[in-house]
Amino acid sequence: MDRIRIVGGNALNGIIPISGAKNAALPLMIASLLTSDTLTLENVPHLADVEGLIRILGNHGVDIAVNGRREHQDGSYSRTVHFTCRTVADTTAPYELVSKMRASFWVIGPLLAREGQARVSLPGGCAIGTRPVDLFIEGLTALGAEMEIDGGYINAKAPKGGLIGARYTFPKVSVGATHVMLMAASLANGTTVIGNAAREPEVVDLANCLIAMGAKISGAGTSTITIEGVPSLSGARHRVLPDRIETGTYAMAVAMTGGDVTLSGTDITLLDTAVEAIRRAGAEVSAVEGGIRVIGHGDQIRPVDIVTEPFPGFPTDLQAQFMGLMTRANGISHVTETIFENRFMHVQELARLGAKITLSGQTARIEGVTRLRGAPVMATDLRASVSLVIAGLAAEGETMVSRVYHLDRGFEWLEEKLTRCGAIVERISD
C-alpha cells in the first residue's frame, strides 16, 4: 500500500496548475447516459474516482475513448474523454460497483428518464456520514416514478409515457439529489420546478452541459431551477470547470508554509467565502491573469472561526484543510461542521503532529501551536488526508501519511505539483 513521505519546513514558490473538478466531472460523465450521441468532456482529471466511474459506465453500455492529453510543465495533464451510449446495455447498477463509489448511485436519474426503469443498489454509508438517499427517492417520486426498496436495491419505474414534470422542493439542500433531478427532469414530459436546489458551481456546470445537449434549464446557481422537458438530448462538447476544492487546498498550503504561488487555470469567484477566510488568516490572495496568486506568511497566521454551509458558504470539503491551517494560528479558532455528522476524524491524526484540538459536538476548538512535529499519520477520508499533507508541509522533520489511496480519489499529481514548488514530498510504494 502506498505512503507519502513529507519533510516539512520549506516554503512553496512557483506555479501549480489546477485540474478539472472531480465533483463536476462525475455528474457530467453520468449525463452521457441521457443521449445516444457522443458527449465529449475536456479537462477531465486523472483520478481514481473518475477511473472507477468509467468502468461503471462501461457496465451500462457507454463506450469511452480518451485522447488529447496535454502535457503541463509539471507533468500533469488535462484529458479529453468521449462518452457514447448508443444503447443502454444494462439498467442495473449492482452493489459491488455502487459500494465502491457513492456517486455511481446517480445513474438512477438518467436510466429512469431514458429507459423508463432502473435497478440501483443502495449505496450505504461512508466514513464521513450516512448521507441517506431519501431526497433522491422523494424527488423522483414527484416526477411520477414508482420507487420500491427490495433486497438492498431501489427498483424504479417511470409511468408508461415517461417521467412527468412537477414542482418539488427539497426539505434539505443536496448537491447529489439536485444533480439527479436535473438529469431526470431534462427528459420528463412537461415542466419541473426544483425548490431549495443546491447552488454549487458544479450544479451550474452540469446545467450548462445539459443546455449544450439541448435541455431547457433556467435558474441554475439559484435556489429555484426550472427545467422544461424535451423529447431527447444530443451530444455536446463541454469543458469541466476548475476544481475549487483543489484550489482552496493549495491556497491553504501556501498560507501555512509561506511562499508565493500562482494557482493557474482556476477562478477566484468559485470560492469567495474560503478566499475571504484565508485572507483573514493573514495570507494575500488575489486574482491574476489565468488564475490566483497566493502569498503566505507562515509564522503570522491569525485565528479565524468558520462554519461549513452549503454554497456560497464555507465548503465542508475544505474544513479539514482549514483546520490544519489553524493549528499554527497565533491564538484560538473554532471550526463548526454543519453538513456531515462525522467529519472530524482527522483531529486525532493532527494531534499526533502536535496540534491542540478539543471537540464539543460539531465544533472543534483549535489552540494554535508554535510548531508541529512530523509523525506517522493515517488518512481516514479524502479531505482529511490532504489536511495531513498540509500540516506535514509545515511540520518539523518527517511525516509519513499512510492509506493515501484516499488522496488518489481527488487530487491529481499531488506530489509532483508540490515538489515543483519546493516541497519535499515523495510517494513510497511498499
User: Is residue 172 marked as binding?
Assistant: yes
The answer on whether 335 is annotated among ligand-binding residues is: no
Q: In this structure, what is the dihedral angle of CA atoms 168, 170, 176, 179, given to the nearest 10 degrees?
A: 30
Burial of 196 (0-12, 13-18, 19+ CB in 10 A): middle
Can you state the angle between helices 22-30 and 48-59, rounded to 10 degrees? 10
| 69 annotated ligand binder | no
CB 138 within 8 A of CB 114: no
Q: The sheet that has 12-17: what strands, in order across it? A: 12-17, 259-264, 291-296, 284-288
209 among known catalytic residues: no
> 414 a known binding residue?
no
How far, in Å, CA of 388 to CA of 377, rounded? Answer: 8
Strand order in the sheet with 424-428: 376-378, 398-402, 3-7, 424-428
Contact 18, 291 (CB under 8 A): yes
Residue 133, annotated ligand binder?
A: yes
- Tell me phi and psi for residue 235, to 5 degrees: -75, 175
Phi then psi for residue 252, to 5 deg, are: -70, -35
Q: Which of 85, 126, 209, 421 is catalytic?
A: 126
How big is the CA angle at 206 (ends 49 and 311), to the nearest 5 degrees?
Answer: 85
The three three-digit cell numbers of residue 6, written as one number:
513529507
240 is in an annotated binding site: no
Q: Is 174 annotated to bind ligand? A: yes
Contact assessment for residue 377 and residue 399, using Cβ atoms and an 8 Å cutoff? yes
Q: Which residue has the cell 508541509?
A: 393
Annotated ligand binding at 131? The verdict is: yes
Residue 408: half-sphere exposure toward Cβ, Cα within 13 Å: 13
Q: Has 173 been labeled as part of a binding site?
A: yes
Query: Is 377 annotated for ligand binding?
Result: no
Letter for the amino acid at 22? Answer: K
Q: Which residues are catalytic?
A: 126
Please enumerate, by residue number, every residue annotated as part of a binding site for phosphoenolpyruvate: 22-23
Please enumerate, by residue number, every residue annotated as part of a binding site: 22-23, 102, 131-135, 172-175, 317, 339
Please enumerate, by residue number, every residue annotated as part of a binding site for UDP-N-acetyl-alpha-D-glucosamine: 102, 131-135, 172-175, 317, 339
